[in-house]
Structure 1
Amino acid sequence: MNVKVACVGGGPAGLYLSILLKRQDPSHDVTVYERDPEGSTYGWGVTYWRGLLDRLHEHDPESARAVEEHSVRWRDGVAHVGERTARHRGDEGFGIGRHRLLEILAARARSLGVRLEFECEITSADLPAADLVVAADGVGSALRTRHAGHFGTEIRAGRNHYVWLGTTKIFDAFTFAFTETEHGWIWAYGYGFGPEGSTCVVECAPETWTGLGLDRADEGEGLVLLEKLFADVLDGHPLTGRSGAGAGAQWATFRTLTNRTWSRGNLVLLGDAAHTTHYSIGAGTTLALEDAMALSAALRERGNLQDALAHYERERRAALLPSQSAARFSAQWYENLPRYIHLPPERMFALLGQRHSPLLPYVPPRLYYRLDRAAGRLEGLRRLKRWLGPRLARTLQARRPATRGRRSAQGRPDAVRDHSG
């Protein structure tokens, strides 16, 4: 299927889709439109895991080698809870600077003949003439928002506040730091992305946010306060906000976005425009790149465009279910942090690693810890936990009001971008 494709949005998903389409058929006419200047982006680094790297090597070895070469690796996770510390060995993780990732993908796309148009904002009123228009313009997608009623866009707002920051401190492990204040707990997730520094995401409950005055502080005041609160893990290194990109350090509540359908005629949603997952599982970039893999394969294998788009949506919806479930329970774990934070460090860290479990919110933490350790030794208990968890979660979820916390995104001028890894 030879197609003319207009990809609106020059993030990882849009660029990688353009690479895959040109690789599978150089005759495809592919243009990527990005509203911002080349080299400007938000955020510092993104995370991914070995499984994604293996899939990148399968789909485009050249760009995969460049991504791997410019990534940092870690295996350890470290949790600092006040003056207590626990360290665990885990799976191999990777971090790469967002600027560097975009540079690699843009260079590879150009080498294959993709046209990249920067500082070119496309709206739903002036869509380029193409066989396929891909909305890869993020969670605040203008193309999707224009037809939010058709797409069935819904946004579920989280409870906690968070801010995306950088630091020159280079973490050698994926680092969690929990600090207690007179207004409650505040915590940070830190991970390296290169020799220049690390990403540091700070999160807290709304009463802590207002109690500390972070709702009233300007960027500089807020950074000074956070540097004091996390001085032990920062080792004197500063935190940096987004002012260098023309914006201050912006606190937000995470918004989980879903859509009832992902396509309208020849317009299809990709990446954050179609779905978001809470940043605490570090899967945002991975899921967006996997969207691109699935869409390019569907366009290659299906006989017509509508069949291809329908197949892409079915495949990705099914593949996303485990990540969406994990993200939902992970966010809930942090929203209920006082339930776990006073456990001994090793136990708290163990349950931090189990935060994706649908059973954990409904079992006393100390009992869950003992059951989990026993399940690690007894296959019967492990099977019971896998069987019981989803059933209990569905039962309790069904008792909640179906519309709790839901808001329609139709008519929203913009929404906070998803900064997940």
Structure 2
Amino acid sequence: MKITVVGGGPAGLYFSILMKRQDPSHEIAVYERNPAGSTYGWGVTYWAGLLDKLRAGDPASAEAISAASVTWTDGVAIVRDERTVHRGDAGFGIGRRRMLGLLADRARELGVRVEFEHGVGGPDAPELAGSDLVVAADGVHSALREAYADRFGAELTSGRNHYIWLGTTKVFDSFSFAFKETEHGWIWCYAYGFSGERSTCVVECSPATWTGLGMDRMNEADSLNLLEKLFADLLDGEPLIGREHADGSAQWLTFRTLTTRTWHHGNLVLLGDAAHTTHYSIGAGTTLALEDALALAAALRPAGDLDAALTTYGKRRRAELVSAQSAARYSAQWYENLPRYMALEPAKMFALLGQRHSPLLPHVPPQLYYRLDRAAEQLEPLRRFKRWLGPRVARAVHRSSRA
């Protein structure tokens, strides 16, 4: 096959690796519009289960990613000025730039042509001529998807809160949260290490807090200075690092959740953020994109009807994403309704932070939910009832939101 991948993110590069391993005779090119080493964000997170899947797909790239990653087991939350520790499963962080470099090197090693600073303007671009398969891995703003907007049925839903993606020279050895109350409301951050020198720090707040603190009027330098003061106990005096716009403004965003009705049109197929996004607070975006690549490569493994293979891929991944998309939706809503939980003692609040994916939590008073959750850990019948009731509440809420 002649395969053209538009977008050199983790999903596009990893898919090219998988397809070359399946059949070295495939002619594969990856086109990325940005320069090599240029990427948004700082570090990405993942869990041990992803490494197992990557090892099955390509042991060499999996081992390279594992070796370049840092790990943690604890979660730490600072609420006002009180620190709480929660023991958890092992998590991993790796610099996004580092991951992309490893995947690009592996793709080239296998014979994939990887070209940076080479954009593809649309479905009629000469780079796509003669391709048996075109993979749109060009992100949430995918030009290829938008060229067939009616076919793909993309829907974008904007979240309410503002957030900014920052780096810091403070190296965290645990996944850390900090929640600070200001006269204008709560502001909080998520922080995790991704190397021995840097960490990611994502700051979020409500629109009222954002404007009340004057963030809507500040340049990036002033924003970082204020955030460093607010989160001084978390950062231990280390600076925050931003990505300044040309006009000097800070890159505050609102998250947009993307869903698509179908994932392919003819020989054009969507991959990763071009097909779907999930709120950053569940830390699954890169994992889901790489799982897309694994699923697409698996669907294409038997030689045969391309349309049937792409249909199978889309149906499988849409079904597999239901759980993650539900968890992301409830997680985003938990943070959008943060004041509901902040009257709890810090340890209890942190416990419900870990339960934020639950469809029951928004409908049960926080104190009562906490007591029920603790009781469910001891009583098997109550645990079974909770597992039975949760999906039914989620379906009812989903139907109501679509009505």
The TM-score range, normalised by the shorter chain, is over 0.9
Q: Deviations over 1:233-291 (max 9, x none)?
A: 01111111113999853111100000111111111000000000000000000000000
How has the CA–CA distance of structure 1 residues 111 and 335 changed in structure 2, closer, same or farther, with 3 Å as cutoff? same
Match of 1:6 in 2: 4
- On the 8 A contact 2:219/2:248 being kept in 1, the answer is no
Match of 1:372 in 2: 373
- On the 8 A contact 1:40/1:245 being kept in 2, the answer is no
Map 1:95-106 to 2 at 5 A. 95-106=93-104
Supply the RMSD in Å over aligned alpha carbons.
1.4
How has the CA–CA distance of structure 1 residues 219 and 63 changed in structure 2, closer, same or farther, with 3 Å as cutoff? same
Match of 1:200 in 2: 201
- On the 8 A contact 2:30/2:114 being kept in 1, the answer is yes
- Secondary structure in 2 matching 1:191: strand
How has the CA–CA distance of structure 1 residues 303 and 43 changed in structure 2, closer, same or farther, with 3 Å as cutoff? same
How has the CA–CA distance of structure 1 residues 120 and 312 changed in structure 2, closer, same or farther, with 3 Å as cutoff? same
- What CA distance in whole angstroms lies between the structure 1 residues aligned with 2:329 and 2:395? 13
- Secondary structure in 2 matching 1:177: strand
| Structure 1 residue 346: Cα displacement | 1.1
Q: Which contiguous aligned blocks of 4+ residues in structure 1 show a shift greater than 6 angstroms? A: 244-247
Match of 1:77 in 2: 75
| Structure 1 residue 394: Cα displacement | 2.7
Match of 2:90 in 1: 92
Aligned-partner residue type, residue 283 of structure 1: A
Map 1:6-405 to 2 at 5 A. 6-124=4-122, 125-126=124-125, 128-129=128-129, 130-243=131-244, 249-301=250-302, 303-400=304-401, 402=403
| Structure 1 residue 147: Cα displacement | 1.5
- Secondary structure in 2 matching 1:217: coil
How has the CA–CA distance of structure 1 residues 245 and 73 changed in structure 2, closer, same or farther, with 3 Å as cutoff? farther
- Secondary structure in 2 matching 1:31: strand
Aligned length: 400
Aligned-partner residue type, residue 276 of structure 1: T
- On the 8 A contact 2:220/2:248 being kept in 1, the answer is no
- What CA distance in whole angstroms lies between the structure 1 residues aligned with 2:398 and 2:53? 34
Aligned-partner residue type, residue 110 of structure 2: L
| Structure 1 residue 39: Cα displacement | 1.3
Sequence identity (%): 69
Match of 1:411 in 2: none
| Structure 1 residue 138: Cα displacement | 0.4
Greater relative contact order (Cα < 8 A, sep 6+): 1
- On the 8 A contact 2:218/2:250 being kept in 1, the answer is no
- Secondary structure in 1 matching 2:301: helix
- What CA distance in whole angstroms lies between the structure 1 residues aligned with 2:16 and 2:401? 42
- On the 8 A contact 1:135/1:143 being kept in 2, the answer is yes
Gaps spanning 5+ residues in structure 1: where? 403-421
| Structure 1 residue 397: Cα displacement | 4.1
- What CA distance in whole angstroms lies between the structure 1 residues aligned with 2:319 and 2:363? 26
